[in-house]
Structure 1
Amino acid sequence: MSTLALKGPYWVTVRQYRRTLWLAVAAVAVSLAVIGGLRIWDAQTPDRPLAGGDLVPADENRGYEMLRLAVESGSAYLLLVPLLVGVFVAGPLVAREFESGTYKLSLTQSVSPAAWLRAKLVSTTAVAFLTLLALMGVFRIGWSRVSGSYYLTWADRGPYEATGIVLFAYVLAAVAVGALVGQLIRRTLVAMAATGLVMGLVLLVMGSYRWSFLSVKTITAPAGPTLWTPEDGLVMDSGLLTASGARFDQFICWEEAARTPGTDVTEGLWGKVEAQCQARHGATTQYVDYHPESHFWPTQLIESGILLALAAVAAYAAFRVLRARHR
């Protein structure tokens, strides 16, 4: 890992945090060894053919189960990358410099405050992007085998971020927020904690509301067998409709079945009472609201746009604070 091509504050930043760079390289290497090894183990057991000709992993294939668990865990760990980047920028990269006063040495080397901060943020962002790109590539090696299995669909938390572009937007937001918080607080541990809290809230809020960005699609069918969504859809809501098209509150029939004597001991009575109640209210159609898989990239782009706006505002504020304190 050479720093010969870097100059000025960029060279200083990379040299100062070279151990962190090697930790990033080690994380990628360990991830590749684990996922690669599990793929090799999985390949030792042939898949089991189904009656229709499809192939599924054999029941005794422990390699597949371990690979699926590793990919599921890996997707969760990838969500921590923006948090770690933000905490690193806020604490060791910015706040510690102000807390210890070492930033003054850099500013005496014919480097403006803005150039000093810009070098730190650009260097960190570049390394974070390269590391994230490598980790996502390793994730894809396992994902190509286990995607679609339990908790590993395109819309699940973790795989959604790890298979798109939104994680890069989270990293940019984390860098900008970390730079702002680090300057405002100027205490290493407190700045790290505050940035972790802010970015944790951002991850939580965006994860909770991302499926509200686009309107759902709705399919209907006569009440009866379970209505499955097409296009590997993400189910948002389901229930019954009355003849007028109004959505029927099924809790009405559940309460009626619960009040009927014998439904807790007589097999099939609960379902019979519930069906009679639904027929009496004219609830003869079922519906499902869902997001099709085609909503994946539009949702990614909308979420990324929101995060980039947050990053732009935080970065602008960070440089304004720096300019105000070091005129």
Structure 2
Amino acid sequence: MSSLTSTPTTSGSKATGTTGTTGMGQLPPLLKGMPWLVWRQHRAVFWTVLGASALAVAFIVFQRSQLHIAGYTPLSTGLRLLPILLGVFLGAPLFAGDLENGTAKLIVTQSVDRTRWLTTKLALTALVVIVSTVALSAAFGWWWNLYKSEVTATEWISEPTFNNTGPVPVALSLFCVFGGVAIGVVLRRTLIAMVVTLGFTVAVQLVWSHFLLSLGNVVTGTSSKGVLAEAAIQTLPRGAYQMDGSRPSFLTGDGKLLDWNTCGDAQTEHALEVCLQKADVVGWSVDYLPISQMNGMQWLGASILLALTAAVTVFLFFWGRKRLA
């Protein structure tokens, strides 16, 4: 316990007798003082996150170099769980453990500024999360680009692809981790905080999935060449995700939209044609999201998540400066 409150000297390898050696539990002497103490306290989980991310990146590089796609789906599914795992096992215990076992009270009684302690722990945790998720996002995106020209609409908008590339995994992971930290600070019990954080991170994923499509600007494609001829329905751009089901709406001469099932009770083609003429149907209309909007949607969503993370961080500082002991 004393190692949490001792202050390393400025003499390099002689500082507390440990900062001069480099190993799985240590870092080079570039970390001194409070950052070194925080790293030493949480080095096991930090190294686990970094090591697992490195192995995943190596696997992706190998699969991509061999032009393999067999492991794409299992890995993408696994990466979707990353924000949940980080929130539960990294975020929730970060301060809850210190508050539960009395370490926090010991630290603040040793003339350690609470704001500095809070800042250091959050900054170092955020750094580990950012390094890991940026590496995974870059590697997975590099792998996905190999098949990008062949993807269908449902593949680019699906969570295994959308949530694992670009800035989304970084922002989503940070929000889940900092949300877990806030839960741990409030509840002050590690196990309870981890359970509640599990529910919180799952809820975040569900809400994110529900509003994902609203991040894009819907494009409307129309055709007035009729609906019965084979060439009447215009082909959507490659990779376009069609909104509101799998069929377009009928377009009337005055610009109104009718459900695709209009005239669905017609028994013959002639009856169908008569019904469509009576309804003044001249073509079709369909709403879709082009794949070209993917990057913009990701950055917009990431911006929202980062803003929420900033709000949680502000809460942590207001709450922690008084109750973090």
Q: TM-score by structure 1 length?
A: 0.78
CA distance in 2, matches of 1:141, 1:252: 45
CA distance in 1, matches of 2:207, 2:191: 24
Deviations 1:84-116 (A, max 9, x none): 222234432111211111222322333122222
Structure 1 pair 306–25 and aligned structure 2 pair: CA distance change class (3 A): closer
CA distance in 2, matches of 1:219, 1:151: 16
Structure 1 pair 152–286 and aligned structure 2 pair: CA distance change class (3 A): closer
Deviations 1:209-259 (A, max 9, x none): 2322443111112224443222632221422112221111223433x25xx
Aligned pair 1:249/2:259, yes or no? yes
Count of matched residue pairs: 291
Structure 1 pair 143–320 and aligned structure 2 pair: CA distance change class (3 A): same
Secondary structure of the residue aligned to 1:220 is strand
Is the 1:164–1:300 Cα contact (8 Å) retained in structure 2? yes
CA distance in 2, matches of 1:272, 1:8: 84
Aligned amino acid, residue 300 of structure 2: I
Is the 2:250–2:284 Cα contact (8 Å) retained in structure 1? yes
Secondary structure of the residue aligned to 2:236 is coil
Is the 2:91–2:178 Cα contact (8 Å) retained in structure 1? no
**Partner of 1:31 in structure 2?**
56
Is the 1:243–1:284 Cα contact (8 Å) retained in structure 2? yes
Structure 1 pair 73–22 and aligned structure 2 pair: CA distance change class (3 A): same
Is the 1:72–1:152 Cα contact (8 Å) retained in structure 2? no
Structure 1 pair 291–73 and aligned structure 2 pair: CA distance change class (3 A): same
Q: 2:242 aligns with which of 210, 235, 240?
A: 235
Deviations 1:33-53 (A, max 9, x none): 4334434544xxxxxxxxxxx
**Partner of 1:103 in structure 2?**
104
Secondary structure of the residue aligned to 1:195 is helix
Aligned pair 1:280/2:278, yes or no? yes
Aligned amino acid, residue 79 of structure 1: R
CA distance in 2, matches of 1:205, 1:275: 44
Q: 1:298 aligns with which of 274, 296, 299?
A: 296
Is the 2:87–2:179 Cα contact (8 Å) retained in structure 1? yes
CA distance in 2, matches of 1:28, 1:89: 14
Secondary structure of the residue aligned to 1:251 is coil
Aligned runs of 1:41-190 on 2, under 5 Å?
41-42=66-67, 64=68, 67=69, 69-147=70-148, 148-149=150-151, 153-190=155-192
**Partner of 1:48 in structure 2?**
none
Aligned amino acid, residue 297 of structure 1: N
CA distance in 1, matches of 2:273, 2:206: 39
**Partner of 2:17 in structure 1?**
none
Is the 2:153–2:291 Cα contact (8 Å) retained in structure 1? no
Aligned amino acid, residue 300 of structure 1: Q
Is the 1:227–1:288 Cα contact (8 Å) retained in structure 2? no
Aligned amino acid, residue 113 of structure 1: R
Is the 1:176–1:312 Cα contact (8 Å) retained in structure 2? no
Structure 1 pair 165–90 and aligned structure 2 pair: CA distance change class (3 A): closer
Structure 1 residue 152: Cα displacement: 7.3
CA distance in 1, matches of 2:61, 2:216: 37
Structure 1 pair 72–19 and aligned structure 2 pair: CA distance change class (3 A): same
Secondary structure of the residue aligned to 1:288 is strand
Q: Percent identity?
A: 32
CA distance in 2, matches of 1:105, 1:235: 58
Is the 1:90–1:188 Cα contact (8 Å) retained in structure 2? no
Structure 1 pair 326–132 and aligned structure 2 pair: CA distance change class (3 A): closer
**Partner of 1:10 in structure 2?**
35
Is the 2:115–2:317 Cα contact (8 Å) retained in structure 1? yes
Structure 1 pair 314–39 and aligned structure 2 pair: CA distance change class (3 A): closer
**Partner of 2:319 in structure 1?**
321
CA distance in 2, matches of 1:203, 1:323: 30
CA distance in 1, matches of 2:117, 2:105: 10
**Partner of 2:15 in structure 1?**
none
Alignment gaps of 5+ in structure 1: 43-63, 261-268
CA distance in 1, matches of 2:304, 2:89: 23
Structure 1 residue 124: Cα displacement: 0.9
Alignment gaps of 5+ in structure 2: 1-23
Is the 2:249–2:260 Cα contact (8 Å) retained in structure 1? yes
